[in-house]
Structure 1
Amino acid sequence: MKTLNISIDGTEIGVGQPPYVIAELSANHNGNIETAKKIIEVAAQCGASAVKLQTYRPDTITLNSDLPDFKIEGGLWDGHTLYSLYEWAHTPWDWHKPLFDHARKHNITMFSSPFDFTAVDLLEDLNAPAYKIASFEAVDLPLIRYVASTGKPMIISTGMADAEEIGEAIEAARSAGCKELVVLHCVSGYPAPASDYNLLTMPDMAKRFGVLTGLSDHTLDNTTAIASVALGGCMIEKHFTLDRTGGGPDDSFSLEPAEFKALVDGSRTAWQAMGQVDYGRKSSETGNVKFRRSLYFVQDIPAGGVITPEAVRSVRPGYGAAPKHLEAIIGRRVVEGVAANTPVKLDNLSD
């Protein structure tokens, strides 16, 4: 059977592998490259599998216009135009090489979400090991095809996309040469309530499209992300900041270091707990088998004596015959005499 597992920067992702947890740096550098570097360092310390950037400039993602179409009303970014928001939030392109170098220095994988062809070209020059298509770009099939043409592993987020659009994005990626793909279930609310996530969509998506699935999580805690592992999620992406009160565009719905470390640990524990189908006795249970119930004599019975209902009980510990034999031994005789408070041994009973 062909495996869907993929590999990013030497790490296998998918069935049989622990969750791949991505720290989304996004705009949380707040315009300071040293903050960006510190986020990379702390993400590595928290056990993140990778750190992800977003590669755009305001002019590559929108138009510099204050017409109503381009104004944001309500929510976190109320009052901004799209251009002013992305001017505030973007990661300068001349930071990319220093940040990629810094990630390598701290032994953590780095890749990015490109938002146009020129961003892909920049990331190719930096030998990015994978690409992420953001939810808002999941309908940009030319961009998906261009990214797929690199031959690198791809991750596609599905926020706001319906089943038809998800299918179109996957087909665009595959038809343009993508061989390694993970599709992330996502809700593009900032923050998003857990009740919107409908995680049961994940196994359906995996079956319907024949893909590995994961979660891009915008809830404010880790419960939803950890639960996704139990539904087959092999990848989790979560926004990461040093200080949620930092005032940046994405800080308020991002995890701080202690929370992110808890996500890494909790998702791995959930994965370990899923395990495999196994009805056998577990190693941690071995010492407690003796405390199960079994049959004990509660009266003395001489050799050849008949076992009466009053002479036997099912009690703890478990050194005697199993309780399922109780009815079968009533009326039988003991070969050798037995004392009260001793276990019933089936080989001491006559036929």
Structure 2
Amino acid sequence: MSGTSFMIGNRQVGGDAPPLVIAEIGINHEGDEAKAIRMIDAAAGAGCECVKFQTHVIEDEMIRNDVVPANADESIWDIMVRCALSAEAEARLKAHAESKGMIFLSTPFSRAAADRLEKLDVAAYKIGSGECNNYPLIEHIARKGKPVILSTGMNDIPSIARAVTILHEVGVPYALLHCTSIYPTPYEHVRLGAMSELAAVFPDAVVGLSDHTLTNYTCLGAVALGAGILERHFTADKSWPGPDIEVSMGPDDLRDLIEGSRAIHMARGGHKDILPQEQPTIDFAYASVVSIADIKAGDELSMANIWVKRPGTGPILAGEFDALLGRRAAVDIPRDRQLSPEMLTPDSLA
């Protein structure tokens, strides 16, 4: 993946930094500020660095409608009217998250929402998959000059490229999150290969995964492929109501995702060579060439009198065994002795 990175506040994202895990609280609070506080506290308790909400200014976001999302049983209009938080509530939530040492992010779904978040001085903007091809809104957000994290569900490379062009023209750093907008997402529709494709087509992007499966498996797999950002929906209590609760992780899963992603991040990369730290294991696990019978000076070495045995502390290792066959001993060699070059006649080693 790309070595590109940028800063969100004091946190490096991408490059050599461990993945940023975003706990997407979204609208799981159902408009209840106290629930939102509990979720921030639960995320902080799990060791999470970043919580994300959604900012909905209904009248600037949508017209009244009866469209029912696939993961709900009421219209999107009714859901947002119930779940939208006031500007004052969002300011309090941001202050509370920051008091816990966390990054507060939110997704604006309209110009008014972006302007509200700008007044809150958020460190970056998250743009949802539904707005990935809302190019006027993307430009409005990008011109605020903050880093942009763009989810790309329901969009293909050409439509994403138009959004990236805007981000390039404005000159803001950006991340692209591969996403599948199916709630929940079956594993066979996750397509982690698409994340690698994004990295290849947009080499100056930090690439990550916004996941809607029911486990951490695919996020952890994404880390092995180079993901710099991971996002999953989050709730403090899986028994609470809400359209996104089914695809939300609880505190234990969040903690596991953070710990697992850091472990995989530390483990990825590198080269296939021998580490100095492996030497203690080499000493007992390798095999050396040894005598398996008493050998007299002048005897020819053969399968009948030499073989390979542990430990690997001998001067001649198993890899050189074939080259010794047919050579002659320069001295008497007792049985079960590790062979060394001086035990052989001068021409006995290639």
Q: Same fold (TM over 0.5)?
A: yes
| Cα distance between partner residues in 1 of 2:258 and 2:60 | 34
- After TM superposition, give the deviation of residue 276 of structure 1 in Å: 2.0
- After TM superposition, give the deviation of residue 231 of structure 1 in Å: 1.8
| Cα distance between partner residues in 2 of 1:340 and 1:223 | 54
What per-residue deviation string (whole Å, max 9, x for no partner) do you get for residues 38-93 of structure 1?
2112212222221111111333322224xxxx3317x3212x12210112332332
Matched, 1:184 2:177: yes
Report which stretch shifted further, 335-344 or 94-103.
335-344
Partner of 2:317: 322
- After TM superposition, give the deviation of residue 158 of structure 1 in Å: 0.4
Residues 308 and 163 of structure 1: is their aligned pair in 2 closer, same or farther, counting only changes over 3 Å? Answer: closer
Residues 11 and 248 of structure 1: is their aligned pair in 2 closer, same or farther, counting only changes over 3 Å? Answer: same
Residues 316 and 3 of structure 1: is their aligned pair in 2 closer, same or farther, counting only changes over 3 Å? Answer: closer
Partner of 2:137: 143
Partner of 1:71: 67
Matched, 1:11 2:5: no
Matched, 1:124 2:118: yes
Residue 93 of structure 1, aligned match among 79, 87, 93: 87
What per-residue deviation string (whole Å, max 9, x for no partner) do you get for residues 249-283 of structure 1?
21111000001111111111111111322412252
Provide the secondary structure at the position in 1 that maps to 2:246.
helix
What per-residue deviation string (whole Å, max 9, x for no partner) do you get for residues 176-209 of structure 1?
332x100000001111112111111112211212
Partner of 2:286: 292
What per-residue deviation string (whole Å, max 9, x for no partner) do you get for residues 271-309 of structure 1?
1111322412252x2221122122111111234443232
Matched, 1:162 2:186: no
Q: How many residues align?
A: 342
Matched, 1:336 2:331: yes
Matched residue type, 1:254 = S
What per-residue deviation string (whole Å, max 9, x for no partner) do you get for residues 159-189 of structure 1?
10111110111112222332x1000000011
- After TM superposition, give the deviation of residue 333 of structure 1 in Å: 2.7
Residue 199 of structure 1, aligned match among 192, 202, 205: 192
Alignment check: 8 A CA contact 2:57 2:112 kept: no
Residue 347 of structure 1, aligned match among 331, 342, 349: 342
Gaps of 5+ in 2: none
- After TM superposition, give the deviation of residue 316 of structure 1 in Å: 2.2
Partner of 2:106: 112
Matched residue type, 1:205 = L
| Cα distance between partner residues in 2 of 1:53 and 1:313 | 68
Provide the secondary structure at the position in 1 that maps to 2:290.
strand
Provide the secondary structure at the position in 1 that maps to 2:192.
coil
| Cα distance between partner residues in 2 of 1:76 and 1:82 | 10
Q: Give the share of equivalent positions with the same residue, in percent.
A: 32
Matched, 1:221 2:183: no
